[in-house]
């Protein structure tokens, strides 16, 4: 049985913790979190670059920080990860990253040991869950990356994957926007893939409360006009841009 590759918290331990979900349709719900390492995309504004931008990785990021892999990645067996999650005593588990669906095999092994917990997976929408994972999932939070992320459309928007998630009633779409023009790109994707408006969230990009609030001033009327839902980033207001929160 292969190990999971996890991100680490500030103490070098696996990033498995309990908190309130800070974004999307489950915002405010008490949950357990597990953060997996590695990602197939590279967003220039990514707030978890320590999961992928290791020394030797030339993909651009606005902070320009290259992280030491050994200090920011840790291998954990599915059994040990499941035990740590169960010990948190939560009814719902959020699996995040990085891109967690890059590790379908060991992730499925972990979920098989956690039969009595609701599962929520956060994905960039370019990967597809295995059948052993999909049957256990209660909710997908799909966050396709727009042009301002720095990823090419050919890498970030895969038609087959977009169709897969748009047709699944368990999937909610969450688009990160930095300027009003980004919403035009969301509109085009919503029409092209027939994403249900009540399952589409717009979320301001930002890692501090002031930036989020400033962008929400123009984002909130756009959501009202277009019938989209707006997501805050509650954990940023509560804890700042910190790990294991």
Lateral strand order in the sheet of 171-177? 16-20, 30-35, 92-96, 118-123, 139-142, 171-177, 200-204, 229-231
pLDDT of 1 over the 90 cut: no
**Model pLDDT, residue 57:** 93
Integer Cα distance of 158 and 33 in angstroms? 27
- In this structure, is residue 17 part of a structural domain? yes
Angle among Cα 17, 80, 92 to the nearest 5 degrees reads 40
Confidence of residue 131 (pLDDT cuts 50, 70, 90): very high
pLDDT tens, position by position, 188-227: 999 999 999 999 999 999 999 999 999 999 999 999 999 9
Mean model confidence pLDDT for the chain: 97
Number of other CB atoms surrounding residue 159 within 10 Å = 9
Integer Cα distance of 169 and 63 in angstroms? 37
Global pTM value = 0.97
Structural domain count, the chain: 1
- In this structure, is residue 125 part of a structural domain? yes
CATH code of residue 12? 3.20.20.70
The arithmetic mean of pLDDT across residues 167-195, rounded, is: 98
pLDDT of 88 over the 90 cut: yes
- In this structure, is residue 159 part of a structural domain? yes
First-to-last alpha carbon distance for the chain, in angstroms, is 29
**Model pLDDT, residue 115:** 83
Q: β-strands 30-35, 16-20: how paired? A: antiparallel
The arithmetic mean of pLDDT across residues 52-70, rounded, is: 95
Domain coverage including residue 70: 4-239
- In this structure, is residue 245 part of a structural domain? no
pLDDT tens, position by position, 93-105: 999 999 999 999 9
pLDDT of 162 over the 90 cut: yes
- In this structure, is residue 244 part of a structural domain? no
**Model pLDDT, residue 87:** 97
pLDDT tens, position by position, 141-159: 999 999 999 999 999 999 9
pLDDT of 18 over the 90 cut: yes
**Model pLDDT, residue 43:** 98
């Amino acid at each position: 049985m292969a190990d999971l590759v996890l991100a680490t918290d500030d103490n070098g331990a696996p990033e498995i913790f309990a908190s309130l979900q800070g974004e999307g349709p489950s915002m405010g719900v008490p949950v357990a979190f597990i953060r997996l390492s590695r990602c197939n995309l590279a967003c220039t504004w990514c707030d978890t670059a320590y999961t992928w931008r290791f020394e030797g990785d030339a993909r651009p990021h606005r902070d320009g920080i290259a992280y030491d892999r050994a200090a920011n990645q840790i291998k954990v067996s599915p059994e040990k990860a499941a035990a740590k999650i169960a010990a948190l005593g939560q009814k719902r588990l959020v699996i995040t990253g990085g891109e967690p669906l890059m590790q379908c095999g060991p992730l499925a092994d972990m979920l098989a040991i956690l039969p009595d917990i609701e599962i929520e997976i956060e994905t960039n929408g370019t990967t597809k869950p295995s059948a052993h994972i999909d049957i256990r999932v209660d909710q997908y939070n799909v966050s396709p990356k727009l042009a301002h992320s720095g990823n090419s459309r050919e890498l970030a928007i895969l038609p087959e994957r977009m169709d897969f998630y748009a047709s699944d009633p368990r999937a909610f779409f969450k688009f990160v926007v930095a300027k009003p023009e980004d919403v035009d790109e969301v509109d085009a994707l919503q029409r092209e893939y027939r994403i249900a408006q009540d399952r589409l969230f717009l979320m301001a990009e930002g890692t501090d409360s002031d930036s989020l609030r400033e962008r929400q001033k123009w984002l909130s009327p756009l959501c009202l006009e277009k019938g989209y839902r707006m997501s805050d980033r509650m954990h940023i207001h509560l804890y700042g841009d910190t790990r294991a929160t």
